[in-house]
Structure 1
Amino acid sequence: MGQGQQLPSASSKEREKTSTPPLFKVLMHNDDYTTMEFVVEVLQAVFHLSDSAAERIMLAIHFQGLGHCGTYPYAIAETKVQEVCTRARKAGFPLRCSIEKE
């Protein structure tokens, strides 16, 4: 390109608009069989939470019946739910997670 020439700018119609994907909450549900220790282990392993954060969420699940584990794009939230359910079934627990749009 010669001196003084500029690259052509893309018109506003040609520019690709990027948007943030919608986010989804991963919720863990209380049950009468899954141990508190297992819930804390899963929260730490799957959601990468600290000891104190995992214990806080576990207590919310225990006392309120539901705990918010994290917020992610749909595909990641779905993968986390599947991982929790797989770990729970292997350990013999009926632990359940769900996804809710934020």
Structure 2
Amino acid sequence: MPQSEALTKTKPFVPKLYNVILHNDDVTTMDFVVDVIVTIFNKNFDDAVALMLKIHESGLAICGVYEKEIAKSKQQSVLKAAKVAGFPLKCSIELE
């Protein structure tokens, strides 16, 4: 093979990942938080309860890690569900 056809190494594209974080508050019910974690983050009930307890005890917990657009979509879904239910649940995203 001629030198001009030599293969060049390219790095594969690795997207940046973002943590989606739920924050504790004194108003949002534990049942609602568990429901959000099950329905929006697709966790099973036991994992959702464990995450809810971590949020309650530590003030926050990472509920999922996603590419930026998916993380934003999850965040908006949480905020919309909380607004509809009348809860002040806070959800943030940050670069992992």
TM-score (norm 2): 0.89
For residues 40-82 of structure 1, the C-alpha deviation after alignment (integer angstroms, 9 at most, x for no partner) is 0000000000011100000000010001101000100000000
The aligned length equals 92
Kindly indicate which of the two structures has a greater share of residues assigned to helix: 2
User: What is the TM-score normalised by the length of structure 1?
Assistant: 0.84
Structure 2 CA distance, aligned partners of 1:96 and 1:53? Answer: 20
Judging changes above 3 Å, is the alpha-carbon distance between structure 1 residues 17 and 63 closer, same or farther for their aligned structure 2 residues? same
**Residues 1-80 of structure 1: pairs in structure 2 closer than 5 A:** 11-12=7-8, 17-80=11-74
Aligned-CA RMSD value: 1.4
Unaligned stretches of 5+ residues in structure 1: 1-8
Give the gaps of 5 or more residues in structure 2: none
Identity %: 47
Counterparts of 2:7 and 2:84, CA distance in 1: 55
